[in-house]
């Protein structure tokens, strides 16, 4: 059983970078939750823990201590860049690292670049706390520049966040050798040579525009090996209301508290009004 630690950067009193009507802490949380849901939907043989599932203040030391004490196999920290550039890049520690750290990052980088049309800024190294203090292979991803309008517009698109998340999820799965569930969850399709958007849409009983909207595509060009989302997957979500408990929500959806906690990477029974939970 592979243990995956997802770390949405910043949170709570630390908003991260801010520009173009966006806060880094909000975007990173959206992406991380989507990564979690895709991994749970499409793959098996893993468990997921998250540094936060809500807008919570969590120090860098708390994040790495939590991952280390849990015994995570891979630490993935998700961030948004700033500084006027454009594109995607990722980092591993600039000191001594295991061969798995390099291999895992290479696989994740390749899968993200299959899904997004961000400029590829490359694979880099840095002395970041979460990379240095984690006891397991760790990577930090920078998904576009919040202060560059073109990148920010992509980050405002839920469909484009799906693409970023799908790249992360598939990369993590490739790195850890996770087994895809039978039928891949029935939700994704890997493009083959000769495929067109029209042929894929026809095969999945949808229109080309629906396929493009679901994947945040602005053009008709697709590449062999690219993974496309072809359905919503039948996942069921519940937005927590004031006074609700995990037990009450589990009863409402004919499931168990432990099942909800597993789907959402929860480590306690505490939930908050407005929190979005996957229940099936």
Question: Active-site residue numbers?
Answer: 142
**66-93 CB burial, b ≥16 within 10 A, e <16:** bbeeeebbbbbbbbbbbeeeebbbbbbb
- Report DSSP state, residue 81: E
Beta-carbon count within 10 A of 3 CB: 17
The number of helix segments (H) and strand segments (E) in the chain equals 10, 14
Strands of 120-126's sheet, edge to edge?
46-50, 2-8, 74-81, 138-145, 88-93, 120-126
């Amino acid at each position: 059983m592979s243990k995956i630690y997802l770390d949405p950067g910043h949170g709570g009193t630390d908003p991260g970078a801010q520009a173009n009507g966006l806060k880094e802490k909000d975007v990173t949380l959206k992406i991380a939750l989507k990564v979690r849901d895709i991994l749970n939907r499409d793959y098996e043989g893993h468990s997921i823990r998250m540094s936060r599932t809500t807008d919570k203040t969590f120090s860098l030391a708390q994040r790495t201590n939590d991952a280390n004490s849990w015994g995570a196999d891979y630490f993935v920290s998700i961030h948004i860049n700033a500084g006027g550039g454009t594109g995607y890049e990722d980092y591993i520690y600039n000191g001594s690292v295991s061969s798995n750290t390099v291999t895992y990052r290479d696989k994740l980088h390749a899968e993200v670049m299959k899904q997004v049309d961000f400029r590829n800024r490359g694979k880099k190294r840095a002395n970041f706390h979460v990379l240095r203090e984690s006891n397991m292979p760790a990577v930090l991803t920078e998904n576009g520049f919040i202060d560059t309008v073109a990148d920010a517009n992509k980050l405002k698109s839920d469909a484009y966040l799906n693409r970023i998340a799908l790249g992360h999820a598939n990369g993590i799965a490739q790195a850890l050798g996770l087994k895809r569930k039978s039928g891949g969850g029935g939700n994704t399709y890997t493009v083959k040579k000769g495929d067109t958007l029209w042929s894929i849409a026809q095969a999945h009983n949808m229109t080309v525009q629906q396929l493009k909207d679901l994947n945040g595509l602005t053009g008709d060009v697709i590449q062999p090996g690219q993974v496309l989302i072809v359905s919503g997957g039948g996942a069921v979500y519940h937005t927590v209301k004031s006074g609700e408990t995990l037990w009450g929500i589990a009863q409402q959806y004919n499931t168990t508290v432990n099942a909800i906690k597993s789907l959402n990477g929860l480590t306690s029974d505490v939930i908050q009004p407005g929190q979005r939970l996957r229940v099936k």
